[in-house]
Amino acid sequence: MRRSEPYHLSMKELAELGSDHIPEEFVPACRLIYSSPATLSYNSPGALGFGVKRAALCIPESVMLLVAPDCCGRNSTILSGEEGYSRRMFYLRMNETDLVTGRHLTMIPEAIREICRVAVPVPKVVTICITCVDALLGTDLERVCRKAAAETGVRVVPGYMYALTREGRKPPMTAVRRTIYSLLEKREKQPDMVNLLGFFSALDSRSELFVLLSGAGIRTVNQISAFKTLDAYMAMGAANFNLVLDPESRFAAEDLMNRLGMPYIELARLYDAGKIRKQYELFAAAVGTKFNLSQYEDEALLAVDRIRKTYGTLSFAVGQMLNAHPFELALSLVRYGFRVPYICAAPVGEDFPFIRSLASLSPDTAVYTNISPTMMQFEPVTSGVDVTIGKDIGPYFPAGVHIDWISELQPFGFQAVRDLFTETARCLSTAWGRRPGLSETARSGETV
């Protein structure tokens, strides 16, 4: 590979390196990050969508006190205004003396009292969010929160906006999930209640998961996004068990199991219909029931078949900003009979089961990473890619039909497969014959 080319590996090369030897170009902590238009939305734990700050504010009747230098607070001020939570954000500014002495930590109780004097309504919870500066100072935020709560009589919980820990055991978006559920207390167990952990916004009500849970005798399904009051939120402490729908919530689920004796089961968001069926069957066996899955699986596979019969062997490029795990989605597309010549995503250890399977089925798939400065050399691809999936990947393949697939309403299960391919069909139908980038296979309508 010439130096003038953007850094990339073939899927075969990546699989051969293995999860213990991921190249530094794919690891944000190892190199400068290239903030292209494609990456600006996700290369900071406090960035767009549900970053640390907005995620922590999922706790009902809460506010956040961001303790940080002005440079960290500036981004938060802009984003909180754009995303509608500015009235719940407060700032304790740090100066150079604070950085040397840690004096800012002694100001937190008074800052909380002032917030309670001016905020309408008066908050019942304050999340103290600190940044990389305090990480370097070694601040014990849990101790700081306990002291502040004792002095003010307000519930105070820790929040960490540490970009430095992004590749660690507890990265920011993992730690904030623990914060969100840290206030729950043990209550009398309700056998027909379950908590969904994983997403900060609501699971799509059309997902078959709700019907399946109801059939298993579950009458109450709790989601953090549904609660408007702290009292309602506290009812989650009575759940019989937790369903973990995103691996970043595993740490929070383990904490609830240790503190409250609340067990958990993991259900991954998948796009391979066969794997979805198998996962549901294992879940049903665990809770002592059986699920009738045929209708949901048939609807999902019908949406896939319609695409294949209408457009043939389409070529997809898959990004990282989407409601899916990029390598799992790419593997599912290949198994459905499509091609995936490009993936733009930074692999992590948990991706390698999918990467190894992709290496055997599609070894020449090129894996790029949006964060590498060499992506400045990426020449837009104007042919050979019919569909791009992911908010961050469209600019690289301008001739393809683009699907963001990153709405805050979270798809899951067979419903996710059905809706993704239904949306793909809609976008292709709208663009058919108008875009020059459709592959020759797709143009001919060849079927698999």
> Each residue of 44-85: pLDDT tens digit?
544 556 788 889 999 999 999 999 888 777 767 766 676 678
Q: Which residues of 103-124 are buried (b: 16+ CB within 10 A; e: fewer)?
A: ebbeebbebbeebbeeeeeebb
Give the model's confidence band at 27: pLDDT under 50 very low, under 70 low, under 90 confident, else very high: confident
Q: Per-residue pLDDT averaged across 365-392, rounded?
A: 91
β-partners of residue 389 are 318, 403
Closest C-alpha among 165, 241, 166 to residue 197: 241
Residue with the bigger pLDDT between 374 and 18: it is 18
Max Cα-Cα span within the chain: 72
Q: What is the pLDDT of residue 1?
A: 46
CATH number for 190-267: choose from 1.10.10.10, 2.70.210.12, 3.40.47.10, 3.40.50.1980. Answer: 3.40.50.1980
Pick the range with the lowest mean pLDDT from 6-10, 37-41, 122-126, 239-243.
37-41
Pick the range with the lowest mean pLDDT from 138-147, 166-175, 419-428.
166-175
- Second-level CATH architecture of 52-177: 3-Layer(aba) Sandwich (3.40)
Structural domain boundaries of the chain? 52-177, 190-267, 296-444
- Judge whether 52-177 and 190-267 match in fold: yes
Residue with the bigger pLDDT between 389 and 49: it is 389
Q: What is the pLDDT of residue 134?
A: 83
Average pLDDT in the chain: 89
Phi and psi of 434, rounded to 5°?
Answer: -105, -20
For residue range 204-250, list pLDDT tens digits in order: 999 999 999 999 999 999 999 999 999 999 999 999 999 999 999 99
β-partners of residue 448 are none
**Pair 33, 42: CB distance under 8 Å:** no
What do you get for the CA distance between the two ends of the chain, in Å?
Answer: 33
Angstrom distance (rounded) from CA 377 to CA 197: 40
Angstrom distance (rounded) from CA 169 to CA 29: 13
